[in-house]
Structure 1
Amino acid sequence: MRPKLIFRLAVLATALLTAMQISADPTAAQDKKLRIAYVLHGLNDFTQTIKEGALDAGADLGVTVDVFGEAGFDVPTHIAFMESAIQAKYDAIALIPNGGDPWNTVIQTAAEAGIPLAASNNIAINSKLDLWVGQDEYKSGVLLGQEILKQLTAKDAKAGKIVIGSCFPGNPVLDARSKGLHSVLDPAGYTLTEDRDTKLDNTENYNIWDSLATANPDAVAMVGLCSLDPPNIGQVKERGGFGWLGAGYDLETPTLEAISKGFIGVSAGQQPYLQGYLPVRALVEELKSGKKITGWLEVPTDIVTAANVEEFRPREGDAAVQKTFYAKYMAEHFADLAKGARPYDDLKQPPK
């Protein structure tokens, strides 16, 4: 194990042990506050919004929420955070099982320990998980593909090469997005590349998109499947003066800026705030009621273009506006989590 990782985990273990010692105080036990761990899959602008949602849920519901994660999206590092949270005896754990199957063992350990679990954003369909919060990934690809088709048709680019990039090839949710894109754009007569590995490091990501643009002068579109792709695609287009359509996922401020300036034609948002808030809320409701909540809490996909980008800027750029917006939204659309959940097995079915 790397020395840097050992140090980080030692610091985390010390913090978790301190929390355990505090909760073991008999006077504190009489007024014990529920403690929820949220294990992210990495830290960037996108996951910061997930973290904000999780912490807001904790504040609203009167529980302690500790969020763990670090830059780099290293799977073993984040599995180790999960293992430490189990050892610290958190009342429940929310997690993002990046990559799916590598998480199966630690999820099994938590389930055997009787710790309620909820996942978001990434799926681990071969594990003991049975509660997930996220968009319909295949459908999101369909929606994005339909808007790409619309914009290419308007530019009279009715055929040609479309370069697809994935920061984590083989990741189940990213593969589902890609399949959704193919389902729309293949029959329309476009030639889509295989998903090129655009990497999780931002500098590498930019350099790869720059190389892809140079290597594919005949492309009609560049499409990224991850949150760090659109800002870099937009910069490459701006600096290189390329005429292809830029497209991708998520609605961080640089992406919205690129849409406003015309360097990105469309991006699909996946409601990361809800992916932070709803798993915590579901776990707290389960702990307080004793009734297990299962299923798929599906969050909608936002398709953002130059025509509607200004509608999203306040929500995505101001934490107070974001919280107010989602409080109202959840009251209208997620009043009863158990009743509103899709069957969890829908995640295991082939996309339609």
Structure 2
Amino acid sequence: MVIMRLPRVAATALVLGLCVSGCTGGSKPAAKARPKVAMLVSSSQTNNAKEMGAGFLAGAQSAGGVDASVTGPPLNDPPKQAEMLKQLAGDAPGGIAIQASNPELISAQLAAAARDGVPLIAIDVKPAGTAGVKTYIGGDNSELGRMLADELVRRLPAGAAGKIVVGSVKPGLSVMDQRAAGVSGELARKLPGLRMMGPFDTGIDPVANLAAWRRLITANPDALAFVGTAGPDSVSLAALHAETKGTWLAGSFDLDPKGMQGAKDGQLFALVSPEHFLKGSIAGWLEAVHASNGKPIPEGWIYTPGLLVTSTNIDKIIERQASDANKLAWFKPQIDKMTADLSRYVRPLDQAS
């Protein structure tokens, strides 16, 4: 378990102040403890969770008045995440944002936390209907899939016909299913001569993912393109495209550093970023403002846009992704705009995709 926290300068100063007061016999009342808010990620080692966690801390720090932390199991482990949520509900009663490994398996624990009055926000993965979570922050994953498909159409010959192989790191998870469906649906609509195959299970583990894509590429040497749904796919596809000197096209989602390098080197035609840092920042800001001054958290789906990354902007995005400070500088105008009037970005929760 990895925990990231904001600096606790104020807390240190408070301890020193109490010591001085005690030594001199003063009777100054103790300062009120700062509310604690937290984010629980699906896996502390994945790039997307690190992005969201860093964004959460930045958003909470921007709002101020709270102590914020980010934690999660090292690997994608739904039972472990549910266990950690029980502990976190007591440790961070000011509010919890969660990127669920499995929204159905953790719904009972979320419902219990909601009954106990813990303010909850789901990020990246839509909460189960039984979870009692009224706020979700995320992109339109079907739209993100269409975004990638449209770029692929632009790269293929007019009227192209042939196989497109789609892989998914976690079939059955709504985020991945919607991205895959967005890709396949848009390609079928714009190029009806294409034959869509998949989505095939490529797995989250990097070694297994590479092996899965190697099998798919070997089994489909005549495919026009291979498309993934997440960061591990981008890394594997870039490596295999270089290794095989492939003439096929490849694209995926997320901004894994190796995937970005693959896009820069021309191994991937595009990546689509769900902009995880932005999602985390909005969640951290909302939880902190609510915990520190009681401002209500909007209910519904808070929509965040994605970004198409190609050869035209990859250098700027690599520079942006080089540090959390760079990300914050890039996103701050957008964060300020959204938090100034969140009602413009709130949609009904049942429309989230």
Match of 1:31 in 2: 32
Query: Are residue 293 (structure 1) and residue 298 (structure 2) matched?
Result: yes
After superposition, the Cα gap between the structure-2 partners of 1:166 and 1:45, relative to the gap in structure 1 and judged at 3 Å, is same
The residue number in structure 2 matching 1:152 is: 156
Q: In the alignment, is the contact (CA less than 8 A) between 1:132 and 1:296 conserved in 2?
A: yes
Q: Distance in 2 between matches of 1:334 and 1:56?
A: 14
Unaligned segments of structure 1, at least 5 residues: 1-7, 12-24
In structure 2, the partner of 1:251 is: 255
Find the partner of 2:178 among 176, 182, 202: 176
- Offset from partner CA, 1:183-221 (integer Å, 9 cap, x none): 211231211112111111111111111111111101111
Offset of 1:167 from its aligned partner?
Answer: 0.8
Matched residue, 1:52:
54
Amino acid at match of 1:151: R
Matching residue's letter, 2:286: A
- CA distance in structure 2 between the aligned counterparts of 1:72 and 1:243, rounded to whole angstroms: 34
SS at match of 2:106: helix
**Deviation of 1:157 (Å):** 7.7
Tell me, in whole angstroms, the C-alpha distance in 1 between the residues paired with 2:349 and 2:249.
Answer: 36
**Larger deviation, residues 216-225 vs 29-38:** 29-38
Does residue 309 of structure 1 match 2:310?
Answer: no
Q: CA deviation at 1:252?
A: 2.6
Match of 1:110 in 2: 113
Partner of 2:23: none
Pairing 1:342–2:343 present? no
Indicate the SS of the match to 1:195.
strand
Give the % identical residues: 23
Cα distance change on mapping 1:98 and 1:28 into 2, 3 Å: farther
Partner Cα separation in structure 1 for residue 222 and residue 337 of structure 2: 46
Change over 3 Å in CA distance of 1:317–1:214 after alignment to 2: same
Closer/same/farther in 2, CA of residues 289 and 178 from structure 1, 3 Å limit: same
CA shift at 1:28, angstroms? 9.0
Aligned equivalents of 2:230 and 2:101: distance in 1? 13
1:318/1:292 CA distance change after superposition, 3 Å: closer
- The answer to whether the Cα contact below 8 Å between 2:163 and 2:194 also exists between their aligned partners in 1 is yes
1:134 offset after TM fit, Å? 0.9
Stretch of structure 1 that moved more, 200-209 or 288-297: 288-297
User: Displacement, 1:316?
Assistant: 1.5
Measure the CA separation in 2 of the matches of 1:339 and 1:247: 31
Q: CA deviation at 1:118?
A: 0.5
Q: Distance in 1 between matches of 2:139 and 2:81?
A: 22
Query: Match for 1:95: what amino acid?
Result: I
Compared with structure 1, are the counterparts of its residues 331 and 190 closer, same or farther at alpha carbon in structure 2 (3 Å cutoff)?
Answer: same
1:53 maps to a residue whose letter is G
Larger Rg: 2
2:127–2:136 Cα contact (<8 Å) kept: no
Q: Which residue of 2 aligns with 1:216?
A: 220
1-structure distance, mates of 2:283, 2:245: 43
Q: Which amino acid aligns with 1:139?
A: E
* Residues 88-107 of structure 1 mapped to structure 2, 5 A cutoff: 88-107=91-110
Q: How far apart are 1:29 and its partner, in Å?
A: 6.7
Q: 1:73 aligns with which of 52, 73, 76?
A: 76
> By how many angstroms is 1:233 displaced?
0.5
Aligned mate of 2:330, from 305, 325, 328: 325
Q: From 140, 144, 153, give the equivalent of 1:140.
A: 144
Is the 1:99–1:171 contact (alpha carbons within 8 Å) kept by the matching residues of 2?
A: yes
Partner of 1:261 in structure 2? 265
C-alpha distance in 2, partners of 1:251/1:326? Answer: 15
Cα displacement (A) at 1:89: 4.9
1:238 partnered with 2:238: no
Unaligned runs of 5+ in 2: 4-17, 19-27
- 2:63 match: 61
Give the corresponding residue for 1:271. Answer: 275
TM-score, length basis structure 2:
0.86
Q: 1:131 deviation in Å? A: 0.7
1:161 alignment partner, one of 157, 160, 163: 163
**CA spacing shift, 1:36–1:143, aligned 2, 3 Å:** same
Range 215-224 or range 80-89, more displaced: 80-89
Once the two structures are superposed, what CA deviation does each residue of 1:47-84 show, in whole Å capped at 9, x if it has no partner? 21111111112322232111111332111111211111
Say whether 1:122 aligns with 2:125: yes
* Cα deviations by residue, 1:120-150 (Å, 9 ceiling, x for unpaired): 1111241311111111011111111111111
For 2:306 and 2:124, how far apart are their aligned partners in 1?
Answer: 13
Secondary structure in 1 matching 2:132: coil
1:83 corresponds to: 86
CA 1:31/1:250 → structure 2, altered by over 3 Å: closer, same or farther?
same
Count of residues paired in the alignment: 327
User: Which residue of structure 2 aligns with residue 195 of structure 1?
Assistant: 199
